[in-house]
Structure 1
Amino acid sequence: MPSFKGEFEHSVDSKGRVAFPAKLRKALSPQANEQFTILQGIEPCIYLYPNDEWEKVEEKLAQISSFSKRGRTVKRNFLRSAEDLSLDKQNRIPIPSHLKDYAGIDGTAIFIGNGEMIEIWSPEKLEEIDSNLSMDAYEEMFEQVMSGNNPEED
């Protein structure tokens, strides 16, 4: 199982391609075969799942009932922007224009390893999110999540 971690900033070229960070590439499992699913994040960022980890997400989605309004809505909104892609020969990924627009990514993209997946942010959106979180609030969240005592996980 890969464990993506770290933060990496790269330029986005005029065709929407961005170099995939070498340290993150080293963490890819051979089963991923340099294939990814890219989609709109819950926050104003992009999620990038290696193929083997995306299969686990699809297994969870398959357990959600399409017969309930909540199930249909979650699946529809989570999957509507998803696209499959792979690294090119220069180890770049093409970011689809609708995802770049959603995340506000223009000339620079920030990759953040998030365990089994990678988040891609615009520097401005990441700064905005970070500035809205006080150290005290982060400390409280961290304690709740890491202690397993988290009644209202967001």
Structure 2
Amino acid sequence: MTQLIGEFDCKLDAKGRLSVPSSLKKQLPDVERDGLVVSRGFEQNLIIYPKKVWEDIIAEMMKLNMYVPENRDFVRKFQRGATELSLDAAGRVLLPKSLTDFAKIGSEVILACQLDKVEVWDKKAYDSLFDEPSEDFAKLAEKVMGGKNRRIEDGE
């Protein structure tokens, strides 16, 4: 299972190419062979998936009943603009203009690893996500993780 960590400040060049940081590439040893997929995020961002992760998601979507309108709508929206990416000789990927326009991404971006994928945010938009006081994060942590009835320290 892919587990990515880190947050990376990056810049897009004039052609919309993103240099993938070497420390992120090390976490994706098969990226040059297998490639990546970029698509729209659920917020105003993009998501870059390792190809294997994308294929697993698509396999789950293939199980959906396509006679159900909500399922068709979800598949349509989820896959809209999805594009395969491959690294060039300089370790860069070209982000499609239609996707960078959707996410309102300028030249300064943040790559934020989220479990098995990488979110791509405009730097200002990403920074604004964390304007909330830390007590709100504590409440969110309790709501999301507090009912797990376990102690992390015990390794359970």
TM-score, normalised by the number of residues in structure 2:
0.87
Tell me the matched-pair count: 148
Q: Output the CA distance in 1 between the equivalents of 2:81 and 2:68.
A: 21
The 8 Å contact of residues 33 and 51 in structure 1, kept in 2 or not, is answered as: no
**In percent, how many aligned pairs have the same letter?**
27
Range 133-142 or range 68-77, more displaced: 133-142
Q: Over aligned residue pairs, what C-alpha RMSD do you find? A: 1.7
Aligned residue type for 1:136: E
Aligned residue type for 2:66: S
Measured at CA, do residues 4 and 16 of structure 1 come closer, stay the same or move farther in structure 2, by a change above 3 Å? Answer: same
Aligned residue type for 1:123: K
1:111-154 Cα distance to aligned partner (Å, 9 max, x none)? 011110000100111122222x33222222222322456xxxxx
Q: Secondary structure at the match of 2:119?
A: strand
The 8 Å contact of residues 32 and 52 in structure 1, kept in 2 or not, is answered as: no
Q: Output the CA distance in 2 between the equivalents of 1:54 and 1:67.
A: 23
Aligned residue type for 1:6: G
- CA shift at 1:8, angstroms? 0.5
Measured at CA, do residues 148 and 99 of structure 1 come closer, stay the same or move farther in structure 2, by a change above 3 Å? Answer: farther
Q: Write out aligned runs for 1:115-154 (5 A).
A: 115-131=115-131, 133-147=132-146
Range 84-93 or range 56-65, more displaced: 56-65
The 8 Å contact of residues 38 and 84 in structure 1, kept in 2 or not, is answered as: yes
Aligned residue type for 1:27: Q
Tell me the equivalent position of 2:41. 41
Q: Write out aligned runs for 1:64-103 (5 A).
A: 64-103=64-103
- CA shift at 1:99, angstroms? 1.0
Q: Which runs of 4+ in 1 moved over 3 A?
A: none
- Larger gyration radius, structure 1 or structure 2: 2
User: What are structure 2's unaligned runs of at least 5 residues?
Assistant: 149-156
Tell me the equivalent position of 1:109. 109
The 8 Å contact of residues 32 and 87 in structure 2, kept in 1 or not, is answered as: no
TM-score, normalised by the number of residues in structure 1:
0.88
Q: Output the CA distance in 2 between the equivalents of 1:128 and 1:105.
A: 14
Range 103-112 or range 39-48, more displaced: 103-112
Q: Output the CA distance in 2 between the equivalents of 1:57 and 1:127.
A: 28
Q: Secondary structure at the match of 1:106?
A: coil
- CA shift at 1:10, angstroms? 1.1
